[in-house]
Amino acid sequence: MASLTASGIGSGLDINSLLEQIVAAERAPTENRLNLKEAQIQAKLSAYGTMKSAVSTFQSSLSKLKTPSGFLTNNVTVSNKDVLTASATSIATAGSYAVKVNDLAQAHVLASVAFDDLDSVIGTGTLTFDFGTTDYDPGTSFIAADDTYTSFTQNTERPSKSVVIDNTNNSVEGVRNAINQANIGVTASIVNDGTGYRLLLTSKTQGQDNGIRVSVDEGGLPAANIDGTGLSQLAFNGSATNMEQTQAAQDAELLVNGLVIRRESNSVADAIHGVTLNLLAAEPGTTVQVKVAADTAATEKNIANFVAAYNELTAAFQGFTAYNPETSRGGVLTGDATTRTLMSKIRREVGTVMQNGNNYNSLSSIGITTNRDGTLALDSDKLHAAVAGDSEAVASLFHAMGTTTNPAVSYQSSTSATREGSYAVNITTAATQGRLSAMAVTAPVTIGSGNNTFSVVVDGTSSGLLSLTQATYNNMDDLAQEIANRINASTFLQAQGKGVTVRYNTDHFEIESLKYGSTSSIALGTTLNAALGLTTGASAAAGVDVAGSIGTTPAVGEGQMLTGRGDASGLRLQISGAGTGSLGRVDYATGIAGGMDSLISAFLAADGQLTSKTDSLNAQISDIDTDREKLAERLVALEARYKAQFIAMDALVAQLQSTGNYLQQQIDSLPGVTTK
């Protein structure tokens, strides 16, 4: 049966229009309620998003205040930037340093003979590259072959590397590509110097200990590997110098306040503590003054930025939570517990009085006060006086700091997991250094050409062959100092930051590593020296890590460093000396910036309050969508029911009308009835 789409047949009513109006009337209250609820939730979500952005921006202002390295910065001035430049971290000590650059570090460079074309065939075989110190004199003429290759000392830190050259890569260009693709620490390039194409081999690492030795195996008689034909044209070793040394491997040499320092790189980061020197030119006669001073202006700027960021955050919070008495309406987040809790905690941190043992223990003590509207005011003059007077004391107000009661215990660092508190420090085992006790020797000791060399292994790194000054040593302390000087001058050890002390104890020498802990050791090298007692029978003892507890929980020891667990997780202390038992306590505080950073991180975390709140609101949005779907389903059913009722009513009216018409016809047909 066709549905009605216009006026009812019997009733004459516009049923579709009536149905639309009825359904609309049924829909409107619920739909308006859902729309209003969604708008309110979306407004809150938008407000939370803006608040999250404001909080994140404020947290960024804490980054340079919450750590010592960010808070205390240094300026470096250099009197001659053509010779060197310098930079400094927060750990650098203020002062002036006289620096002379005698030599720049250089990479070893070898050049082949000239070839006619890029595709000229060199030969086939295997190239073996060794790295180390080359004692080589190129003489006055490469052509005259008056060079002298005296020796080569392998760098034990760099293993040999080989490159196979076959018929697919035996041209000048092919050999270059094969070496570069092997990634062995050598860069191969081709230069046309006017006589032809020359293959250049350059060590990727500068320094005397990174020279290149090239050996060739052509697969035939040994003599063919050095005869200057085929692949042996690239040989550079004690048997054949068929390549030309165009630049010797060389360490940088500089003097810092008169102390001679050699490094394999022109970037020297360990000569002056906390300062990196970038050497640009060798000028032995030029003294460059390097001055390190605290950058108080940067510190003051960072604190001022913190105040400005805090005020912006306060304004953002007030915009969302303020009540307007004129309109009798509050902000989107008025009364919101999450917002109120966060701002309350941040304000509490602002008012913190630190137990840091100095006069700068609150923000007000350095010129930062709170206005009546909750914003901060900055007295720049008072801040300047505080920072200029004692920047470290001001720093302790902002960043995490541990104060110890025993001079043998020093605070090093902490993490975001470290909880504030007072922790007892107990040591069960003190850290020790690796030591080698030599065999007995007595004065005088004569060092000559037959007994002036030796080697040792310090913390797993070989010193290489060392040579003592030839003399008769009547004072064994003088000889101990000579041994220490030679070991500490080893470029192998310097490159790894390793060193030793040496003393004469009763009847023997003792060599002790500067490093503490289980990775600290001293061992005999490959070259023994009976005159020094460095022979089989010398006894070695490895170092021991510190062991103990911070608070009530056993800590992790590494060298002299003790790192806490539990509530003290991440708290790192240096334990000096040989003392054991109770070593007092450490009082740890996160500092104002550190405390704010921690609570904001927790608030913004994936499982934090903000995420929980926004997840809940998003869930409510989903519920509203579900309610809309249910409403639509209910209205469809309602419309169908009303439609069926209207159709039935209309059919009944039509039937009644038909009956009426029939009756009227019957009446009209009766005799005597006249229709008017």
Q: How far is CA 236 from the centre of its chain?
A: 41
Residue 275 in contact with residue 267, Cβ under 8 Å? no
For residues 484 and 470, give the distance between their C-alpha atoms in angstroms, rounded to a whole number: 15
Q: Say yes or no to pLDDT of 9 above 60.
A: no
For residues 44 and 7, give the distance between their C-alpha atoms in angstroms, rounded to a whole number: 48
Q: Is residue 641 part of a domain?
A: no
Q: How confident is the model at residue 601 (pLDDT cuts 50, 70, 90)?
A: confident
Instruction: Please tell me whether residues 268 and 207 are part of one structural domain.
Output: no
Sign of the dihedral defined by the CA atoms of residues 62, 68, 70, 71, in that order: positive
pLDDT value for 2:
41
Angle made by CA atoms 260, 262, 268, in degrees to the nearest 5: 105
Residue 307 phi/psi, 5-degree rounding, is -60, -45
Convert the pLDDT of each residue in 231-248 to its tens digit. Answer: 999 999 999 999 999 999
Instruction: Please tell me whether residues 441 and 527 are part of one structural domain.
Output: yes
Q: Is residue 347 part of a domain?
A: yes
Q: Is residue 21 part of a domain?
A: no
Convert the pLDDT of each residue in 140-164 to its tens digit. Answer: 654 546 789 999 988 878 889 999 9
Q: Say yes or no to pLDDT of 547 above 60.
A: yes
Who wins on pLDDT, 321 or 543? 543
Residue 199 in contact with residue 175, Cβ under 8 Å? yes
Indicate the residue type of 612: S
Domain of 179, in residue numbers: 109-247
Residue 269 in contact with residue 85, Cβ under 8 Å? no
The distance in angstroms from the start CA to the end CA of the chain is: 39
Residue 386 in contact with residue 359, Cβ under 8 Å? no
Instruction: Please tell me whether residues 422 and 510 are part of one structural domain.
Output: no
Instruction: Please tell me whether residues 223 and 239 are part of one structural domain.
Output: yes
Instruction: Please tell me whether residues 497 and 569 are part of one structural domain.
Output: no
For residues 628 and 634, give the distance between their C-alpha atoms in angstroms, rounded to a whole number: 10
Number of domains in the chain: 5
Which residue in the block uniquely carries the two structure tokens 């890590």?
545
Convert the pLDDT of each residue in 256-274 to its tens digit. Answer: 999 999 999 999 998 999 9
Instruction: Please tell me whether residues 396 and 279 are part of one structural domain.
Output: no
Residue 390 in contact with residue 358, Cβ under 8 Å? yes
For residues 153 and 490, give the distance between their C-alpha atoms in angstroms, rounded to a whole number: 13
Convert the pLDDT of each residue in 169-204 to its tens digit. Answer: 999 999 999 999 999 999 999 999 999 999 999 999
| DSSP string covering 537-583 | TBEEE--B--EEEETTEEPEEETTEEE--GGGTT-EEEE-SS--EEE
For residues 548 and 599, give the distance between their C-alpha atoms in angstroms, rounded to a whole number: 30
Instruction: Please tell me whether residues 113 and 237 are part of one structural domain.
Output: yes
Q: Which residues, in sequence order, are CB contacts of 112 under 8 Å at separation 6+?
A: 122, 198, 199, 200, 233, 234, 242, 243, 244
- Within a 10 A sphere around the Cβ of 293, how many other Cβ atoms? 14
Rg (CA), the chain: 43
Convert the pLDDT of each residue in 572-581 to its tens digit. Answer: 999 999 999 9
| DSSP string covering 212-265 | EEEEEE-SS-GGGGSSSSGGGGG-BSSS-B-SEEEE--B-EEEEETTEEEEESS
Question: Any idea what DSSP says for residue 372?
Answer: T
Instruction: Please tell me whether residues 449 and 559 are part of one structural domain.
Output: no
For residues 269 and 280, give the distance between their C-alpha atoms in angstroms, rounded to a whole number: 14
CA distances from 352 to 249, 355, 370 (A): 59, 9, 12
Convert the pLDDT of each residue in 422-477 to its tens digit. Answer: 999 999 999 999 999 999 999 999 999 999 999 999 999 999 999 999 999 999 99
For residues 645 and 8, give the distance between their C-alpha atoms in angstroms, rounded to a whole number: 12
Convert the pLDDT of each residue in 632-648 to its tens digit. Answer: 888 888 888 888 887 78
pLDDT value for 591:
86
For residues 70 and 306, give the distance between their C-alpha atoms in angstroms, rounded to a whole number: 13
Q: Which residues, in sequence order, are CB contacts of 223 under 8 Å at separation 6+?
A: none
Beta strands in 90-237 (DSSP E): 95-103, 109-111, 125-137, 148-154, 161-165, 186-192, 197-203, 211-217
pLDDT value for 144:
44
Q: Say yes or no to pLDDT of 52 above 90.
A: no
Residue 225 phi/psi, 5-degree rounding, is -80, -10
Quick one: tokens of 387?
């920072």
Q: How confident is the model at residue 673 (pLDDT cuts 50, 70, 90)?
A: low
pLDDT value for 14:
77
For residue 346, give the H/E element and its range. helix 337-350
Q: Is residue 644 part of a domain?
A: no
| % of residues, the chain, pLDDT over 70 | 96
pLDDT value for 308:
95
Residue 275 phi/psi, 5-degree rounding, is -120, 135
User: Of 116, 90, 218, which Cα lies nearest the Cα of 164?
Assistant: 218
Helix residue spans in 375-475 (DSSP H): 380-389, 391-398
Instruction: Please tell me whether residues 218 and 93 are part of one structural domain.
Output: no
Which residue in the block uniquely carries the two structure tokens 């020797």?
441
Convert the pLDDT of each residue in 119-140 to its tens digit. Answer: 999 999 999 999 999 999 988 6
Tally the residues of the chain. 676
Instruction: Please tell me whether residues 485 and 392 are part of one structural domain.
Output: no
SS (H, E, C) 42-95: HHHHHHHHHHHHHHHHHHHHHCCCCCHHHHCCEEEEECCCCCEEEEECCCCCCE
Residue 278 in contact with residue 263, Cβ under 8 Å? no
Name the least confident of 48-57, 96-105, 195-204, 419-428: 48-57
- The reported pTM is 0.63
Determine the average pLDDT of the residues in 278-297: 95
Strands 211-217 and 125-137 come out as antiparallel
Q: Is residue 476 part of a domain?
A: yes
Final residue of a structural domain among 589, 616, 651? 589
Q: Is residue 667 part of a domain?
A: no
Residue 98 in contact with residue 278, Cβ under 8 Å? no
Instruction: Please tell me whether residues 381 and 508 are part of one structural domain.
Output: no
Q: Is residue 471 part of a domain?
A: yes
Instruction: Please tell me whether residues 219 and 356 are part of one structural domain.
Output: no
Helix residue spans in 85-223 (DSSP H): 172-182
For residues 602 and 211, give the distance between their C-alpha atoms in angstroms, rounded to a whole number: 53
For residues 431 and 454, give the distance between their C-alpha atoms in angstroms, rounded to a whole number: 29
Task: Report whether the peptide linkage leading into residue 159 is cis, meaning its omega lies within 30 degrees of zero.
Answer: no
For residues 279 and 301, give the distance between their C-alpha atoms in angstroms, rounded to a whole number: 31
Q: Is residue 594 part of a domain?
A: no
Q: Which residues, in sequence order, are CB contacts of 143 under 8 Å at separation 6+?
A: none
Final residue of a structural domain among 526, 557, 589? 589
Q: Say yes or no to pLDDT of 59 above 50.
A: yes
For residues 355 and 357, give the distance between their C-alpha atoms in angstroms, rounded to a whole number: 6
